[in-house]
Structure 1
Amino acid sequence: MKDDREYYRRISSERTDKLFVRIMNAVTENKRYRGGDCTASSIAAELGIKARDISAVVAIQTGENYNTLINNLRLRDACKMLSSPSYNNYSVEEIGLYAGFSSRQSFYLAFSKAYDITPRQYRLLHNKKH
């Protein structure tokens, strides 16, 4: 952990800001975060930087790790789909998979941890409001 903090300090805030914008553009372009090709290593290779730089920049900018950032983008999409009448014909599991989660279990775990409610409960609560 001490090594990480020292590494983070060596990255200028201007460089951090610019890299974060490049990272976010890369992962959000065409909702790339929904696919399996959105690893820190693949994004780093594409941007011509080290995967460690991706981790450092995301931690500095968000306080979270790269995987959490990707899951948060997926969760944001899932919430939109769960609350949209356009997706009423999709099961909760299908929405989770479409948002980019690899399984029903990983979707439910991430969603419940983030919102203290299951995706199904979220959908039911939201549908009652309409």
Structure 2
Amino acid sequence: MMDEEELYKNPLLSRSDLSNRLETSERYLSQIINQELNKSVIQFVNEYRIEAAKNLLQNPVFNKYSVEAIGMEAGFKSKSVFYSTFKTSEGVSPGAYRKL
């Protein structure tokens, strides 16, 4: 569902949205993600966003787009959250990653 429908691209995606889409409770969704993946719902969603951003940053078609625009396209709702989440995940800033 996350890959096919790219729900993570919605910057306002919430735990409630996901649980409604899966026809389950928020609590159960959180519990399953935590137990099975050892992460929070937001960490789960942000992993998809980071992967999308990495693909865009390395795609020559998107070279004309700013790093911030790529973060927004990947579903992050602010530049600061994108930068900090990306750096925590990948160990480098999005701009540095683009140059690799």
TM-score, with length taken from structure 2 = 0.92
Map of 2:35 onto structure 1: 60
Root-mean-square deviation (Å)? 1.3
Q: Give the SS at the match of 2:4.
A: helix
* Structure 1 unaligned regions, length at least 5: 1-24, 126-130
Within the candidate set 95, 98, 117, 2:70 is matched to: 95
Q: Give the SS at the match of 1:49.
A: coil
Q: Aligned in 2, Cα 1:104/1:36: closer, same or farther, shift over 3 Å?
A: closer
Identity %: 29
Q: Bigger CA drift: 27-36 or 105-114?
A: 27-36
The Cα shift of 1:56 comes to 0.7
Q: Given that residues 12 and 77 in structure 2 are in contact (C-alpha distance below 8 angstroms), is that contact kept between their aligned partners in structure 1?
A: no
The Cα shift of 1:37 comes to 4.8
Give, as a single letter, the amino acid of the residue that structure 1 aligns with 2:48: L
* Structure 2 unaligned regions, length at least 5: none
The Cα shift of 1:48 comes to 2.5
Superposition map of 1:81-120 within 5 A: 81-120=56-95
Structure 1 runs of 4+ aligned residues shifted over 4 Å read none
Q: Is 1:47 aligned with 2:22? A: yes
| In 1: Cα distance, 2:92 partner to 2:16 partner | 32
- Answer with 1 or 2: which has the greater Rg: 1
Residues 1-42 of structure 1: per-residue CA shift (max 9 Å, x gap): xxxxxxxxxxxxxxxxxxxxxxxx2x3332111104531112
| In 1: Cα distance, 2:61 partner to 2:36 partner | 34
Q: Name the one with the larger helix percent.
A: 1
| In 2: Cα distance, 1:124 partner to 1:81 partner | 12
| In 2: Cα distance, 1:83 partner to 1:46 partner | 31
The Cα shift of 1:46 comes to 3.0
